[in-house]
Amino acid sequence: MARKRTNQAPGCLGQIFNVLTATFFTLTLLAVVVFIVALLAPNLLRATPLASFLPAEREPVVDEAALPTLASVAAIPTLPPTATPNLLQPTWTPVATSLLPTPEPQNTLGPTLTPSVTPIFPSKTPTRTPTATATNTPTETPPGPPPTPSPTRSEFIFTRSNNSPFYLQNFANNAGCAWMGVAGEVLDLNRNPVPAGSYRVHVWGSGIDQRVAAGSAPDYSPSGWEQFLFNSPVIRDYNVQLETSSGTAVSQVYNVQTRATCNENLVRFDFVQNH
């Protein structure tokens, strides 16, 4: 029986020694890992407690009297916290410069008195004495009626009548107020109508350029003529001149202005022979 116990004691001690050796190896490996983590990520080491890295294994029941004394585990040095750079920059305070001396005001000269100009009045000029003017001696008027001046003779053989132009309401057609034109007649020295076709009237201006023969509008006279101008009464300017049938001018150019009323939409213009 005594021999059997001596054979079991060394086996138990070997198992305990193996367990301790594995535990020491595990702690050493864990210390190395913690050291490496402390070098690479010191903030992670502060936030994670050391106990979290230890394996949660169930420790075997060991006879404490038979265990050898273990050396104390070396303390793992901790790295000092990294210094945080100061983000606040020193501000520059300007040194108060000495105030410049205020220039003293200089005495300014007061305004000088400008001598007043004495006005020079013109001297009185003597008034002229009016001289007596000679009176005209009246001439004797011969007895008898005064002579009648003869009318000025025109270079053209035809002139306008004394009352031309004059304005009438359209009566020669059924257009009424939707018509505007100029018309008249041509008279000889005896105030008779000239033969039809012997003369013609040239009318131009405001978009019109036409020639109409005397006698082509018998509603006005046997030598009557007419020229349509516009389809409503408006104010416009036109020119009229009498010519021979071959185109020779026998009167001067006369300007005629129309009116914008229905009662005066016909402009009457007559030519009269004067020599």
**In this predicted model, what pLDDT tens digit does every residue of 111-151 receive, in sequence order?**
555 555 565 665 566 566 666 665 665 555 555 555 554 45
pLDDT category of residue 254 using cuts at 50, 70 and 90: very high
What would the mean pLDDT of 64-68 be, rounded to a whole number?
Answer: 53
Residues 6+ apart with CB under 8 A from 153: 274, 275
**Looking only at Cα atoms, what is the longest distance across the chain?**
211
**pLDDT confidence of residue 71:** 46
What would the mean pLDDT of 90-113 be, rounded to a whole number?
Answer: 58
pTM over 0.85: no
Q: Which has the higher per-residue pLDDT, 91 or 154? A: 154
pLDDT at 182 over 60: yes
**pLDDT confidence of residue 18:** 84
Q: Please, what is the average pLDDT of the chain?
A: 77
Domains and CATH numbers, the chain: 7-57 (no CATH), 158-273 (2.60.40.1120)
Residues 6+ apart with CB under 8 A from 211: 200, 201, 202, 203, 243
